[in-house]
Structure 1
Amino acid sequence: MIFKLDNLKLKDLYSWLVIITLSSFSLYLFTHKYISNNYYILIISGISGFFLIILYLLLMRQQLHYKEDIFNFVFLIFFVIYGIYFKDIDISILGVLGISLLFFSGKEIVKIYGISQLILVTFLLIFGLFQLIPLITSIQNGWIYDGNVSTLTFGLNKNLVGIFFFNIAIFLFISKKFEKKEWLQYILAVIIGLIIIFLVRDRTVGIILFLFLICYTLIKRKKNISKLSRFLIVLLPIFLTIFSLFLSLNYGKKEWINIFNENLSGRVQYWNYFWNRFSVSLLPQSLTDYFNMYDMGVISTVQYPIDGFCRLGILKDGVIVFTLLMGRIMITLLKLIRNVNTNKFIVIIIIDFLLFSLTKNNSFSYRYICFLFTYIV
C-alpha cells in the first residue's frame, strides 16, 4: 500500500515520522538520567526511524533528480564521514539530520521542529507533574534576583528549554490553524516570550523571540528591502565572527568589554581563556577542560561552558568545517534575499539564530533542537 502513495502523501507521512523520531529521541535523551526504565521511548524512536529510512529511499527515487540535490547529498555524506573520522559527534549528527531533511523547505522544517518540540514539552510537563523528572530547578545567582532562583527547566539546561519554546512560538506563524487569526499568533507568542523570560529565565532566547516579533511585524508588509540592508544581512555572519573574536581577544583590556562580559554571565572571560589556551587548527579538536575557579573568586571545580559558536566554533570544529558552515549560511542568505518577498519569514529566523549563536553553542551542539545549521547545509 505504501508504494502506491503519491508523492505529496508520501512526503507528508515521512514528515510525521521525522516528527515522531525527533520528539521521541529527544524525550529519551533528556529523561534517561531520571527514569531508569524509559527504554520504551527509545524503542518508539527506533521503530519510527526504521520506517523513516524506508520512506526516505522511496522519496529519493522520486525527488533526487537535480545536480544540486545530488551535490547536497554528497556534501552531507562528507559531513557524516568527516565527523566519524575525527570523532566529532556534532558534525556527524549535522550530516545525518541534513540528509533526513533534504527534501523539505525552510517553512516545512520550522513546522517539523515546532510540532516535535511541542510534543516534547507536553511529555516533559506530564513527566514533571508526575514527579518523574524535576519540573522546577533552583539555580544560583539568577539574573533577576540574588541567591537561589526557581526556574522551569524539566531538569535540563534552561537554554535548551528556552529554544523549545522559541521553536513552538515561531511555528505559530506558519500553522494553517492560525493563518487567519494573526492577533492570536501574537498573543500566544508574547505569552510564550514571557514564559521564557520569567519562568525559564532565559534572557537571550526571550529577547530574540521579541526581536523576531518586531522585525516580522515591520517588514512583513514592506514590499522592498534596500540593497544596503540586503548586503548587510548576507555579510552578518562575518560581522558577528569578527565582533566575537574582538571581544574574546581583548577581554580585560577595555572597560566596556568587561561590562559586556558581566551581562553575558562571564562568557567573554571563558572565551578569552580558550583563545589563550588553544591554537587554531584546520581540523576539529576537543575543548573539554576542567579548571579551578579560585582565580575567578569562586571556590569550585566545574567545566568550562563551550558556548558561542561564532567565538569558539573555529577552535572546536576547525577552520575547514567553520568556514564551510559560515559560507553556507551566507550562500543561503544570498539565495533567500534574491526572492526576499516570499522568504522574509525564514530570513528573520536565520538572523535570530545567528544572533543566538553569538553567545551560545546550542544551535550547533543540539541540532535536533535548533535547526539553523541543519537547514543551511
Structure 2
Amino acid sequence: MRIRLNKISSRLQFSQRIGGLILALVCGALPYTNTLAAVQAKQPPVPLAALESFVAVYERIRLKHVDAKTDEELLQLALEGLILKLDRFSSYLDADEMARLQQDTQGEYTGIGVELVPEGDYIRVITPIDDGPAYRAGILPGDWITHVQGKAVNGLDVHAIDELMTGSAGTEVTLIILRKGETLNFALTREIISTQSVRSELMRSKVGYLRISLFQNHTGQDLVEQMQALKLAGADRWLLDLRNNPGGTLGAAADVADAFLTTGVIVTTKARQASSNMRFDAKAIDPSEGWPLAILINNGSASASEIVAGAIKDHQRGQLVGDTSFGKGSVQSVITLPQGAGVKLTTAYYYTPDGHNIHLKGIQPDIILSNTDAQDDQQLAAALDLLSPLDAEK
C-alpha cells in the first residue's frame, strides 16, 4: 500500500514550523558557529525544496507514527541517519561511546577486543586485538559477523550494532560468523581490555623485534623506550610487526615512522578546506641508528599501520613482508557535542610520501607471503631470514 504525504495545512503553519526547527538547530550549534563561519559563508544556501520535504516528512512522523516521539528524539534520529549515510567510517557517538573511544586511545576499555567496520549486509572484522577475547577465541581478520546476540545485523545501523556488542565486564556476547562459506558460532565474555601498545624481544641474529598492536597517544614514546632496551640487549637490526593492527591516532603513526626516518615527508592529509591540510615531516634524530629494517603487515593492518608502512616503503628505508594491507586511507576527526555525545567524521584522506592514496587499495608488501598454517608463522620466519644475512654496519 502506498501512502501519500499530505501538504501542511497552510503556508503560515509551514513557515512557523520550519522557522522553529531552524532556530532550534542554530541555537544548538552556537558553540561551533565561530569555527564554521568562514566555511559556511562560502556555501550556497540550503535548497528550499529539500528543506520543505524534510519538514513535511518530519511533521508526518511526529504526528502519525505509531510510536510517539518528542522533537528531541526525532532530531536525534535525523542526526544519526545523516552521519550514517556519509561513509562507512563516519559515525554518531553517544556519551557512552565517546567515553569508550577516549578510553581506547588511552589504552583501556571494556569489550571483546575487536575492530569492526560495517560493509554491505554484514560487519567485517578488521582485526582482533592482541590477547583479547576475540583473539583467544580464534576470530580472524576478514571474518564476517552476521548475527550478534542472535539478532541479524542486516539492516542495523552502527549505533544499534554497537549497543549489541558492548556491555559490562563479565557478561557474554554471542556471535555468528561467516568465514569462507562456513558458519561459525562464538560465545565470548566481555572483559576490560588493557592494550599494551608496544612489546619487544631480542630474536635470533640480533634482531630487535617490536610489536605494535594499536596506535595510542603514547605509542611513539613507548616504542623508542623499547628500542633503547633492545640496543642494550645487543640488537643491531629491527623487525617491526604491524600485523592485525587496526590503527589509531595520526600523531602516533607519525611518531613511529619518525623513529626510523631522518628526513622527508612522513604523511600528508588533504581535506576539503586547504587550511585543514596537514603535513608530518621526519626529524633528524634517529633512534633506529639506521640499522636494517623489515616490517610485517597483513590484511588486518589498517589506517595508522598503513601510514607507517607507506612511509617506510616510499623512502625505501626497509622491506615489507606479508599480505596487502586493509586499505583505510581516510582520517576521522572527533567532534564533541553537548551532553557528552560526539561525531566521528571523515574529514580528510591521507597520502604517502610519494603521493599515493591507498584508500580501499591497501599497501602491497615487497615480499608477498600468506600464513597458511596457524601453527607456523611463515611471515615471521621470512622476515627473520631477510634480516639474518644483513651486515648491520652496512
Instruction: Mark yes or no: TM-score above 0.5.
Output: no
Higher helix share: 1
Give the TM-score normalised by the residue count of structure 2: 0.26
- Looking at secondary structure, tell me which structure has more strand per residue: 2
Q: Which has the larger radius of gyration?
A: 2
Report the TM-score, using the length of structure 1 for normalisation: 0.27
Higher relative contact order (CA 8 A, sep 6+): 1
